[in-house]
Amino acid sequence: MTDQLATFVVDGSLYGVDVIRVQEALRHQPRTPVPHASAASAGLVNLRGQVVLAIDLRVSLGLAPAPEGAEPMMVVVQVHGEPVSLLVDQVGDVIEVDPESFEAPPSTLAPELRQFVKGAYKLEDRLLLALDVERAVAA
């Protein structure tokens, strides 16, 4: 039995979330700023008439801002029954992973990042970090 994860890249690291939680992946969309919102709130996005909060994962995860002129992509996920858009550097593929290859977050992971990672899967050529979506959105 394998699990399917939708993958994306943030600051050079590969992350994944359960494909069942993913509504869609989109190119950059215009965002409306939300006054007095948290730093991670990148604004509101209109997705075919549905207003969705966009969360900048770089801010949530305590990473450096995106390079100047970089247009983030969006991965829309379900969090507590509501769609939330995660701003990512690059959208990856849906991949199958063996639950047996799941391990605790690596000790080399920055302490501030560890709280947002459920664990890691060892792939042939790199590590896939399983993102804890609820914690990342709540940050």
Q: Locate tokens 């979330």: which residue?
A: 17
Order of strands, sheet of 73-79, starting from the edge strand that comes earlier in the sequence: 22-26, 73-79, 82-88, 50-56, 41-47
Of residues 16, 9, 19, the one with CA closest to residue 128: 16
User: What pLDDT sits at residue 111?
Assistant: 86
pTM: 0.92
Give the CATH number of domain 3-138; options: 2.10.109.10, 2.60.40.1840, 2.40.50.180, 3.30.365.10: 2.40.50.180
- Phi, psi for 27 (deg, rounded to 5): -70, 175
Residue 34 near residue 44, CB atoms below 8 Å: yes
Q: Mean pLDDT, consecutive 10-residue segments, the chain of 139 residues?
A: 92 96 93 91 94 94 88 95 96 94 90 91 92 89
